[in-house]
Chain A
Amino acid sequence: MTAAVPAAVPDEGETEQLRQQLAAAVDAARDAYRDTTRLIQVLDLLGRPAGSAELIGDMLNVLSDAFFADVVCMARVAGERLVVAASCGLPEDDPAYAQGWPVGEAARRTLATTEPTARHGTMPDDDAPGSVTGLGIRSAAWIPLSTEPYADTLLILFRSLDQPFAMSDLRMLTSVAARLQMALQERERHAVIEQLAHYGHLLARHLEVDPLLDEAAELLLRLTGADRAWVVTVEGGQGRLRAHRGLPPALLAAWPVPARSLDDLPACDAGLSEVLKVAVSRENGATALLYAGRERPRPFAQGTLEIMTIFANYLGVALTNAELYLALTDRATRDPLTRLANRSALVSHLDTLLSAADPTRIGVLFCDLDGFKSVNDLFGHEAGDELLMQVADRLRSSVRPDDLLARFGGDEFVIVLDRVKQLSEVAEIGARICADLDDRLVVCGEQVHVSASIGGVLGIRGEATPSTMLRDADAAMYVAKARGSGQVEVFDEDASHRSRDRLDLRAELLLARTRGQLHLAYQPIFALDSRAVVAFEALLRWTHPHHGTVPPDVFIPLAEETGAIVEIGQWVLAQACRQLAHWHRLPEGRGLGMSVNLSPVQLHQSQAAERTLDTIRTAGLHPADIWLEITEHSYLRHEVTEYAGALGAAGVHLVLDDFGTAYSNLSYLKRLPIEILKIDKSFVSGVTGPGGGQIDLSIVRAILAIADSLGLVAIAEGIETEDQRAALRALGCRLGQGYLLSRPLPAAQAGLLLRPQPQMPARAAQRGA
């Protein structure tokens, strides 16, 4: 009995009638309120800001409650089976989630007609998941989630209540299902848009292709809810598996596969119930393919393919960016000719290695080709480039896989050796590379012999820097080169220090002249019989603020290496000329000569002869007042001959220094306008010495004989004793210099030595000619 409203009418029959009417009205009101409440609950739920999974869960709970259903589930067709996506009432481990159950008659009808289906009474077992059949189900309803054709998702309610689903129930459920579908689509669209935007951002941050594709595989898996996802690129007719998630190791061995067989679903698809594939469309560049697969018979959500397509577009953009970046990076870090790392990449790599925490050390080999310039000169720059490429190939095959090979510049290559324990390893590798390189190569059809000078150093991580290591290796290479071609030199700590000092000196030398640290000393050249000064030899001196006097045999080679010798030499000549001009203005200085040393480097300068003569004339001198001293090595080149010829023709006296110590090729004496020979100190000191003196004496005698026969004047250098002077005089040597006679002196003191006019050697030479 449901109502307890007191009846006012005493009539029994009437009361009963009223009671029945009231009961019916109450039932009707109850049903109306129940339906209203159902709708309100559903609408309230649809309006709540919840994610898809939460919405579905809550909705199925409400439907279970509102329609008295033991089980409510959302199931989707996968092949010939219905697979549960969500439910209220199925245990979480129910096989209906993973395997599903065969599509039964009612489900098939509902899908075909897109109309709801209701059943009441005994349920056929094949139209429900196994666990439902034990619940004593008496009524069930199948509701299409969408009325669109090809809809594949159903809302299914099973209840043990022995009461059929009424037509009004079905109408309401259909309406709810449609709204749920719309709400889900809306939420999924939002979620996917958010996800895609986020994933696009995640892709864009990758500037290298491999991490990009790896991230793409991960995101693809998440985006599609797949069990496996993989990314394939197609290059040169080969499909390569570039990144994957969830692929069993056994399937990886099949890659790469021929591109044409990619459509035949290669190994990765084994055991998958559904596979989606989209191509990453690009204007150019390698094509990529994205795959997503599901192992379980659980279909992909609708629109997954479209989502993958958008994702593929993002990936395409990211790939293009990555390739552009790669090209830019490549340009910034690679030498365009040899494709080796360039100097900046080398320094950066070395810096990285030196910063790593590792007990091993780093080796650096600095290779400089021997004779590269002559290849360039003989066969042209194209040949030079070809040679460099061939050498780069040789070096590539010589270095270990983890070593970095870089082109440092010109014909210089650097090899960075990671994880080296001691210097001997560096030396061994250097020697091996040297041996590998020492060969004949065919360049532009010509056979060219190649070798390299290699310097090596060992650096301690955390202490050494790329610049110190490269500087020391470079210095070691110079030492190697100085020993001849195809040599290896490694510097230990001490050697590096010395080289560093030398390099420091080299740098300071460039500034020495402007800082006023250079000056000239003058050593007189005497007539040995009269002891009259016939000329001075101008000698360059460098007084370093810390090191004091730096010996010329130390700093002159430095000046030659850096090319500073050109400017310095010019300065020396100008100074010496000015000083001589000054002395010429003194009565006792008239006719005095000035001997100035020339570096071979100076002779290589264009218009060297003109500039030399300009300097002499600017000082107000005659070219014949100047003696220019050159060494034997200077002759080798054609331009030297030209230079000497031009100066000789102008009247400058050419002095061959250190005669007898090098080749002493007499043909040079014939070819060049040499007028004076300087007999090296080593022979001079021997002319009176015990033992061996006889040999030196013979040499000096021979030199004097040669000079005499060619009409040249000889000057003995380094006379230190009276005996030597006497012996030289006895041999007929008329001029000499040395500590016995005078040390090199400052200009003022040197001026005091001037005596009444001695006989000019040049005049003597002219007379003798």
Chain B
Amino acid sequence: MPVEIPAPRPAAATATEPLRTGVGYSDAADAVEAGRAAAAEALAGLQGYPPELIIVYTSVSYDLIALLHAVRRATGKAPLVGATTSGQFHDGRLIDPGLGVSVLALSAGRYRFGVASVTGVTEDGDDAGQRLARAARAAAGPEPTPHAALLLLTTGLAGHQQELLNGVHRVLGAPVPVVGGSAGDDRLLIRTCVFENDNVLTDGGAAGVWIASPDPLSVVAEHGWYDVGLPLLVTKSDGLVIQEIAGRPAAEVFREHFHDDVDFERPGLIKPAPGYLSAYAFGLIQPDGSKLVRGAYIDEDGQLKTFSPLPLYAPVQIVSCRAEDLLRVTGDVVRRSLAGRDASVLLAFSCVARLDVLAEQGAREAALIQDAAGEVTTFGFYTYGEFARTTRVAGYHNATLTAIAL
């Protein structure tokens, strides 16, 4: 149902107008009904303010085209982006993978939004990133603003996330932070999708939102994982297969770090690769001593694999975590994101690997996020990899919680 839109007010002239938010959710089995209901509830939260950006996170189990059309019928021409997920979170609630659609509606507030999408990430991620950055920026209109950020949603099984980011960075440069995540598919690892307006793009596609802002925007990322061994060099690899670490068979080295306490049969893994251990991963050592987490598992042939390739001779440390380690950083990420800002909404992206580790405590992260955010609306999904480009060009993470506050 189309929304009654009040008399248009130019976004730029409402600089003091707070950003209005509305969140809707439906777990109706029918895609049209679920989309309609979630969109209507989200729009209702705007209290009559026109929507300027719609974000849709949904289980891949729906007829996505029907779902998107139902949402669009309700939200009209308001720019829309979205992604399929492996679970959503908002209002302190976890929406388990495979259930429901969540919609966020935002008024303009002090911001101006422009959305765009591209395909071809698999063929040339760098080029796709450049095209996406230019198109999203252009969609927000020609008036310059002093600050901006890019919300980036890519299809989770397309790979090439860092190349996509390289392309974005080539166009936008260091002044524009990037936040976002890779779409999930309820852990099925079959097909992920992103949305842009009326378009549903499957693997190889990406969508973005240019967020033009009068104030600086910042992106925060933390993971909570800790080292369980000494620094090592990956000495031989072939794509996603790590063959040797420190000159020895990689799987053997990886296993040596397993602790007796680690439960091999964690619940909550719908389709884990055999030997998949969410509790162990690689920490890619960064120049400042920090680590980017890279998920790893031993497949049925006994090969050690990662979800994204590690650089040649990457310095790594095997890292591990328990649920409490992950939850320890949750409030931190939220507080740092909101610090010094009069924000209305926190957009967060958490990794499905975290959900795996959290297992039966999965819902606690959503609750902690909302606790830390207080009155601020929180809205996020469980991804197949997170974007948080803050300083350097590198900005693709695994098993991490990233966020931006608007």
List residues of chain A with CB under 8 Å of any chain B CB.
Answer: 1-5, 26-27, 29-30, 33-34, 36-38, 40-41, 44, 57, 61, 64-71, 87-92, 94, 131-132, 134-135, 159-161, 163
Contacts and interface: CB of A to CB of B under 8 A. Distances in A.
A34 B287 contact: yes
Interface string B224-265: 001111111100000000000000000000000000000000
B393 interface: yes
Contacts of A2: 226-227, 317
Contacts of A66: 287
B104 to A, nearest CB: 28
A49 to B, nearest CB: 16
B288 interface: yes
A123 B175 CA distance: 17
B172 interface: yes
A27 B315 CA distance: 12
A75 to B, nearest CB: 15
A87 B173 CA distance: 9
Given A41-B311, A61-B166, A65-B394, A91 B287 contact: no
Closest 4 CB pairs of A and B: A33-B315, A91-B173, A89-B174, A70-B174
A583 B175 CA distance: 126
B170 interface: yes
Contacts of A68: 286-288, 391-392
B329 interface: no
Q: Which among A68, A87, A161 has the greatest number of chain B C-beta atoms within 10 A?
A: A68
B166 to A, nearest CB: 6
B101 to A, nearest CB: 36
A41 B310 CA distance: 12
A36 to B, nearest CB: 7
A163 B288 CA distance: 9
Contact of B230 (A29, A134, A160, A161): A29
A188 to B, nearest CB: 22
A29 B246 CA distance: 13
Interface of B: 166, 169-176, 226-233, 285-289, 311-315, 317, 391-394
A89 B288 contact: no
A154 to B, nearest CB: 18
B312 A131 contact: no
Nearest to A96: B173
B287 A67 contact: yes
Nearest to A57: B170
A65 B393 contact: yes
Contacts of B233: 33, 36-37
A33 B314 CA distance: 8
Contacts of A88: 169-170, 393
A160 B227 CA distance: 26
B226 A4 contact: yes
Contacts of B392: 64-65, 68-70, 89
B352 to A, nearest CB: 25
Given A44-B312, A68-B391, A69-B392, A135 B227 contact: no
B97 to A, nearest CB: 31
A357 to B, nearest CB: 45
A161 B288 contact: yes
30 contacts: A2-B226, A2-B227, A27-B289, A29-B230, A29-B231, A30-B285, A34-B287, A37-B285, A37-B313, A37-B314, A40-B313, A57-B170, A61-B393, A65-B394, A66-B287, A67-B287, A68-B286, A68-B392, A69-B391, A87-B173, A88-B169, A89-B174, A91-B172, A91-B175, A92-B172, A92-B173, A94-B173, A131-B173, A131-B175, A161-B391
A88 B169 CA distance: 7
Contacts of A41: 311-313
Given A36-B233, A64-B393, A89 B227 contact: no
Given A3-B227, A34-B287, A68-B286, A90 B311 contact: no
A134 B175 contact: yes
A89 B166 CA distance: 10
Contacts of B311: 37, 41
A22 to B, nearest CB: 9
Contact of A91 (B166, B171, B391, B394): B171
Nearest to A30: B231
Nearest to B134: A92
Nearest to B311: A41
Given A26-B231, A33-B231, A40 B312 contact: yes
B254 to A, nearest CB: 15
Given A2-B227, A61-B166, A64-B393, A30 B313 contact: no
Given A29-B231, A89-B174, A91-B175, A36 B286 contact: no
A390 to B, nearest CB: 71
A94 B289 CA distance: 31
A5 to B, nearest CB: 8
Q: Which among A26, A30, A94, A163 has the greatest number of chain B C-beta atoms within 10 A?
A: A30
Given A68-B288, A89-B169, A34 B315 contact: yes
Contacts of A65: 287, 392-394
A280 to B, nearest CB: 40
Nearest to B227: A2
B174 A90 contact: yes
A719 B172 CA distance: 116
A128 B138 CA distance: 27
A68 B292 CA distance: 13
Contacts of A131: 173, 175
Given A26-B231, A65-B392, A89-B169, A135 B287 contact: no
Nearest to A45: B312
Q: Which among B175, B288, B317 has the greatest number of chain A C-beta atoms within 10 A?
A: B175
Nearest to B320: A4
